[in-house]
Amino acid sequence: MGIKLCVKDGGYDVYAPMEGQTWGYRYGPSIMVYDDRRADAWFASPGALGEADWFTYRHTEDGGKTWSDEKVVLTPTADSMDLFSVCDPAVIKFGGWYYIGYTSTIFTDNGGVCNNGFVARSKNPDGPFEKWTGDGWGEQRITADGCLKWMGKPAPIIYFDGEWSAWGEGEFSFVVSNDVLYIYYTKTSRRADGSRISQTRVATADATDENWPAKIRQRGVAYERESASNDSFDVVYSDEYGKFIAISTDERFTETSMLAIYESNNGLRFRRCNDLKVNVGFMCHNSGISGDELHHVKKGDLKLLGYAYGNKWGFWGTRFHEYSVEKYYGFYSERDRENVKREVIPKPKREPFPINVMPDVMPPRFYKMRSGETLDLGFIWLDSAYKHYKEENITFDNYDKSIIDINGLTVTAKRVGYTYANANTPYGLSAEILIYVYPGDFDFSEDGKYPVSVLPVKEEYKTNLKENERKQIRLIVQYSNGTWTETRGAEHGVKYYGYDENIISVDENGVIFAKAAGKTKVTAALGSFEVVYKVTVNKI
């Protein structure tokens, strides 16, 4: 027995750019519904000042007839592994926490490559969130003034160790079933022969364990995506039919685009079962499907799906539809039907209202000072059309007063160290900023900087002879001027040696090519600094 999912109606735009805008979008909706037809939704939206994407949030009390004004609820963390963006929201609630998965990178090439998957959590759907930092949630510091709690510098829960120029791994979807957290994500990489890897992969974790990101178990390939036009999965579990159901778009960004539906009995391997065009807008991409807190669908639930669409790049509407599910034997396809050639109709202009506040500084959200210096801070707020407005009515709290003092908008550096601080507005929005204080003679210049430490990005690389993915050995390098990066290859001064040439070879870019099953070690060296990695090659 299979299933047939149908888009019931023409739907409505939960978002469209305003009149006068030349761009604007809210893509990849993550939709959570409740028993009384209330719903929450999170969207990827544009960022600002060098950040590619943020998350916005909206709420409905009446099944989607009306939605609250949006607000930005998650942004990148200053000077961290997610500094470029938070993309592709995936929200689930269990153990009293809302968890939000997202995609990010430090590599801005080609719009963002070498992506990793991250997660943050909050007691509330609109935050504030704390991020998984590798050994816990957020950062905490005890001072003479009490306990300071900050968002924390995030660490990936899924780290992409393939060749850096590939898209990488991310675009999460979460489901909890029988206390098992199913983690679905996109993997886009290259094999040793240059052929493309395009997959939806699945991992699992114990949903009863608060620190589940530290104990993720890889479970393999959930689906081999047909092509680059086959979009990421959003997955729910149907209580009524006892199946995992996934949605994606296919032939995305084209006039023949459609919704593709997949089903699975165990959540580990999926098969495609529906192709849908009726009522679906053309040029669609980045879809989402509603579920309850655990991302389950129950009989009688409000059932919503959504996607972004539009034939002008970056000028997209976000369409929501109600959908139905029923039993069906065989493959149900609407490929021979027409989708809807629907133009994005701009929303009427409205009085601007703030959806985010942030410091007016590049790079975003952090400052470097020398001990004894003073610095005047500037802030902006942004409206829903992402216009910027100067904001001077800011108060600060949640910072280490032994390191800095803040008077009005002026910061005085008191001693060497770092602290975060919350910048608060009278209308309820806030931004977390990061301030480093260095010695009085510290040299911030790029000229003459040199490495002062090298860290591994992971302890062990694993590959196999069957897939033979191009794994790449990279390093985290910290420099004398207070900057850092993730680097690789002879072009950046990294050399590789000390490995068993019967098992692997490593090219000048640090890319591993598997030859035979076995274990070996590789030394990656930058100048006098060395890191030794384990490499395991399995047969399959």
Per-residue HEC secondary structure of 65-82 comes to: CCCCCCEEEECCCCCCCC
Q: What is the mean pLDDT of residues 251-268?
A: 97
Pairwise CA distance, residues 266 & 210, whole Å:
24
Q: Give percent of the chain with pLDDT exceeding 90.
A: 97
Residue 1: pLDDT over 80: no
Answering whether pTM is above 0.95, one says yes
Is the backbone peptide bond immediately before 363 cis, with ω within 30 degrees of 0?
yes
Q: Grade residue 427 by pLDDT with cuts at 50, 70 and 90.
A: very high
Strand locations in 76-216 (E): 87-94, 97-104, 116-122, 130-131, 139-143, 146-150, 168-177, 180-190, 196-206
What the chain holds in terms of domains, given with CATH numbers, is: 2-333 (2.115.10.20), 356-438 (2.60.40.1080), 451-538 (2.60.40.10)
Look at residue 310 in the predicted model and tell me its pLDDT.
97
Q: Grade residue 430 by pLDDT with cuts at 50, 70 and 90.
A: very high
Residue 70: pLDDT over 90: yes
- Under a CB-based contact definition with an 8 Å cutoff, are residues 495 and 510 in contact? no
CB-based contacts of 265: which residues, under 8 Å, 6+ apart?
242, 243, 244
Look at residue 110 in the predicted model and tell me its pLDDT.
84
| Per-residue CA distances from 203 to 40, 83, 183, 215, 222 (Å) | 25, 25, 5, 10, 9
Closest CA to 155 of 238, 46, 54, 81: 81
Give the type of residue at 59: H
Pairwise CA distance, residues 27 & 73, whole Å:
15
Q: What is the DSSP string of 445-510?
A: -STT--EEEEEES-SEEEEETTT-B-EE--EEEEETTS-EEEE-SGGGTEEEE---TTTEEE-TT-
Pairwise CA distance, residues 396 & 377, whole Å:
11
